[in-house]
Amino acid sequence: MTIFDKINFPNIFEKIGNARTVGLQLPDGLKYYVKEISEEFEKRGFETIISGKASYGACDLDTELLKHVDVLVHFGHSRFVDTPNVIYVPYTVNYEINPEKIKKHIPERNIAIIGTLTYAWKFKEVKKILEDAGFQVELKSGRGVEFEGQVLGCNYSCLRESKSDAVLFIGDGMFHATGAGIYSGKKTYAYHPHSDEVIEVETEDFIKKRYILISKAKMSESFGILVSSKPGQFRLNLAKRLKREASRHGLKAEIIVADEITPEIVENFRFDCYVNTACPRIAYDDTRRFGKPIISPQEFEISIGLKDEYVFDFI
C-alpha cells in the first residue's frame, strides 16, 4: 500500500466543493510526496500553493497561507483547533496487536488504552481483541480529539477520572507513554505493535531530570516566558499570569512571542532561565538543545513554591 492508497482524494474534493485555490500543508515526513499529491489536485482543476512551514501537529496550522487560499488542506493530523476553511486529512497506519504477549506482560486486568491518532483510529477493534483475551478495557474520549483513547503530547484528557488499574499506550516511542504515566499516576505500559514489545514505563528518571532543571530555575533571577503565536499553542494569558507571579516573588520576567520556539530564538536574549508556554514537548524533548534551562509553566510554579506536586504540562 502506498501513501496514495491512504489518501481518500474523492472525499477531500467533495469537502473542498467550489473552492479554486487550495493550500497544502504536510508534516516533514510527508513533504516528500507533495509533488504527486499536488498533481492530483491540479488534475481536478484546483490551483495549489504548498506550505513550506514546519507542521508538528494540528496546532500548527499555516494561518498565513490560509489568508491567500480558499481552503487549506492540512495532512497528517486530526482536528485540534476549529478554524474555518481548513480540511484535516489524518494519517494512519494499519497494524496488528498480539493479545497473548500483552497479557503475559501486564498483570493488571482492568486497563485503559491510549495512543496517538496513527493508532487510535483502530481502538474499537483493539478493545474487542483485548476483551476477548480477558481484559476489562476502558476507552474514553478526550477533549478536542477525534478518536476515543487518542492522546497528543499536550493532551491526555481521555485519562481524566480513569477508573482503570493501569494504562496501556499503543504506538511508537516512549514520550506519550511517559506523559500518560505522569498525568494519570497509574502503572503504565507501552506496546509497540511493530516490534511486538511491551515495556513498563519508568517515570522517576524523567521527573528526577526535571527537578534538576527546577533547582536551576530556583537559582535564576530573570526569566524569559516563551509564547508561540501558532494558533493551537498560543497561551498568552498563562504567560501574563506567570509574569505577574514572578514579579510578586521579586523576580524579573519578560514575555517573548515568536512563531517557532527554537534555541536560535532565545540565544540573543540574556535571561537566566526560560519558561515554555508553547508546545510542551519543546521544554521536555529539546532541553539539551537550549543553552539555558527551559522549564514548563508548572515547573516554574514549583520553583517559586506555588505547587508541590509534579504535574505534566498540557494545552
Task: Among 37, 41, 57, 273, indicate the residue that binds ligand SF4 (CB under 6 A).
Answer: 57
149 binds ligand SF4 per the rule CB under 6 A:
no
Cell 535564576: give the residue. 220
Q: Which is nearer to ligand SF4, 13 or 314 (CB)?
A: 314
Q: Which stretch binds ligand SF4 (CB under 6 A): 51-59, 63-71, 105-113, 238-246?
A: 51-59
Is 117 a binding residue for ligand SF4 by CB under 6 A? The answer is no
Overall size of the chain counted in residues:
315
Pick the stretch among 24-32, 43-51, 54-62, 113-121 that binds ligand SF4 (CB under 6 A).
Answer: 54-62
Residue 231 CB, nearest approach to ligand SF4 (Å): 10
Shortest distance, position 284 Cβ to ligand SF4, whole Å: 10
DSSP per position, the chain: --HHHHS-HHHHHHHHTT--EEEEE--HHHHTTHHHHHHHHHHTT-EEEE--S---STT---HHHHTTSSEEEEEES---S--TTEEEEE--------HHHHHHH---SEEEEEB-HHHHTTHHHHHHHHHHTT-EEE----TT-SSTTB-BTTB-GGGTT---SEEEEESSSSHHHHHHHHHH-SEEEEEETTTTEEEE---HHHHHHHHHHHHHHHT-SEEEEEEE-STTT--HHHHHHHHHHHHHTT-EEEEEEESS--HHHHTTS--SEEEE-S-HHHHHHSGGGSSS-EE-HHHHHHHTTS--S------
User: Which residues ranging from 76 to 115 are in contact with ligand SF4 (CB under 6 A)?
Assistant: 80
118 binds ligand SF4 (CB under 6 A): no
Under the binding rule (CB under 6 A), the answer on residue 296 touching ligand SF4 is no
Q: What string marks each residue from 249 to 288 as x (binds ligand SF4 by CB under 6 A) or -?
A: ------------------------------x-x-------
Nearer CB in complex with ligand SF4: 41/284: 284
Q: Does 153 contact ligand SF4 by CB under 6 A?
A: yes
Q: Which of 7, 106, 120, 154 binds ligand SF4 (CB under 6 A)?
A: 154
Decide whether 16 or 59 has the Cβ nearer to ligand SF4: 59
Region 219-238 residues binding ligand SF4, contact defined as CB under 6 A? 232-233
152 binds ligand SF4 (CB under 6 A): yes
Binding-site size for ligand SF4 (CB under 6 A) equals: 14
Strands 197-200, 294-295: pairing is unpaired
Q: Which residues contact 73 (CB under 8 A, 6 or more apart)?
A: 12, 16, 22, 23, 24, 25, 86, 87, 89
CB nearer to ligand SF4: pick between 106 and 159: 159
Residue 78 or 184 having the CB closest to ligand SF4: 78
The footprint of ligand SF4 (CB under 6 A) covers 56-60, 80, 152-154, 232-233, 279, 281, 315
